[in-house]
Structure 1
Amino acid sequence: MKGQEWYQADDVAEEYDDKRFSRGGRLIDRREKRALLEAVGPVEGREILEIACGTGRFTTMLARRGADVVGLDISAAMLRQGREKARRAGVADHLEFLRGDAGRLPFPDDHFDTVVAMRFFHLADDPEGFLREMRRVASDRIVFDTFNRFSARSIYNWALPMGSRLYSKSEVAVLLAKADLTLVDVADDFLVPYGLYRAIPNALAAPIRAADEAVGALPTADHFASVSYWTARVR
């Protein structure tokens, strides 16, 4: 089943967090949350939209830190999981979950301070149009991540074709320019593909991650990173 269809299946939503972020996947979860917070900056009192919010792991985190957050997703099953997660975390009053299409955001222009989309850009049918929509509803900045073409992720895509797209940095730079966005920062990480971490126990994943970070700190290693986290400002 291809990426978007797989993602919307009810049985996937019920087990999504356990499948993706248990075992060695906890390392991925922690890194992604840290990357998002570094990109967004202080969140208290800010109006934030998360597109493709899934089960709400980022929306709940942002609400806990004082942001007013809207999570939008096309999967009703994922949104049910997100609402329950927000309720258990005691932040339901600061979170609203809506079902909607990322390509046609149901919000007026400049409605949010920040718009974020994690783990979605590789599935976007129209990446330029998606960036334009993000820009349209953001008054300050947007944050998103990409899987990179010149990395071990290309092997993963070949072995498990899910319909996801890989990008070079030059391609993303062109897309940002077309959407009239100014690049603020890009952070690169994970020489080892995500799939390996999810498949092994945390005790084994931790030393692999330590080696990954050590090699990733070398001057030319960013060219081979599996993931890039992008921050852009509305001009």
Structure 2
Amino acid sequence: MKGQEWYQADEVAEEYDTKRFSRGGRLIDRREKQALLDAIGDLEGKAVLEIACGTGRFTVMLAERGANIIGLDISKAMLQQGRHKAQAAGVADHIEFMRGDAARLPFPDNHFDIVFAMRFFHLADTPASFLSEMRRVSKEIVFFDTFNAPSARSVYNWLLPMGSRLYTEDEVSALFRETDLSLEHVEHDFLLPYGFYRSIPNGIASTARRIDTSLGDTPLGDLASVSYWKAKIN
């Protein structure tokens, strides 16, 4: 995985949410959460696994909606941030945070109703192996996002601490074939890259987002920087 040492540093975990999801980044946070909720539907009593759960922003949200969820991550510092969030939200009884390797998931086949990963596949050196493991332990839904090529993200991708693997639709389709998954639904979004939104105040970001969304309904939507993929088990 790219940037493992950087990602696991204590100071990165402590500043992660503030740097990414304050200012205009709040808009990104809301959109990502809504994309996930739209894809997975009713959560009451569902067994859910989140790969690369980070500071637990999705993990806690799903527990609040009735899921019994495990959040798996490689960073001890990120997991500790997640535990603090779960305690503060009063849902610690519905969440287990585990340190582990997404390429070798410590669970039996068909163990979870839903398995998902957000902000993960852009770091994957062998994406098929990770997706295959997600498919193995899920009995219903696999959900993940990708950063896309061509898109505005390619302009500044090389500047990022961990870089990003950028995907074409054909590459993701090939991943589905390799892992025996079928595409159920996909959404493409964000012509303007995440870095732009994080750099401006929330009020200005809202105006930019309205323009962005309008352009997404035109042929320019083919240049969206992010895609949300919902797959079903064959």
TM-score range relative to shorter protein: over 0.9
Instruction: Find the counterpart in structure 1 of residue 53 from structure 2.
Output: 53
1:161 offset after TM fit, Å? 6.0
Runs of at least 4 residues off by over 3 Å: 158-161
Q: After the TM superposition, which residues 195-210 of structure 1 pair with which residues of structure 2 at under 5 Å, given as runs?
A: 195-210=195-210
Deviation of the 1:200 alpha carbon? 1.0
The corresponding residue for 1:75 is: 75
| 1:182-215 Cα distance to aligned partner (Å, 9 max, x none) | 1000001000000011111111111111100111
Partner of 1:108: 108
Provide the C-alpha distance between the structure 1 equivalents of 2:5 and 2:170, rounded to a whole number of angstroms: 29
CA distance in 2, matches of 1:173, 1:180: 11
Map of 1:12 onto structure 2: 12
TM-aligned CA deviation for residue 123 of structure 1: 0.4
3-state SS of paired residue (2:102): coil
d(CA) in 1 for partners of 2:232, 2:189: 21
CA distance in structure 2 between the partners assigned to 1:125 and 1:106 by the alignment = 20
Deviations 1:114-167 (A, max 9, x none): 100000001011100011000000011100000001100111213436332000
Aligned to 1:231: 230
User: Is structure 2 residue 220 aligned with structure 1 residue 221?
Assistant: yes
TM-score normalised by L of structure 1: 0.97
How many equivalent residue pairs?
233
CA RMSD between the two structures: 1.0
1:158-184: per-residue Cα shift (whole Å, max 9, x none)? Answer: 343633200000100011111000100
Gaps of 5+ in 2: none
Question: Share of identical aligned residues, percent?
Answer: 67
Rounded to whole Å, the distance in 1 between the matches of 2:184 and 2:19 is 33
Distance between the aligned counterparts of 1:65 and 1:168, measured in 2? 33
Determine the C-alpha separation between the residues in 2 that align with 1:114 and 1:78. Answer: 22
Q: 1:161 to 1:56 in 2, by over 3 A?
A: closer
Structure-1 separation of matches of 2:159 and 2:14:
25
Contact 2:189 2:227 in 1 (8 A): yes
In the alignment, structure 1 segments of 5+ residues that lack a partner are none
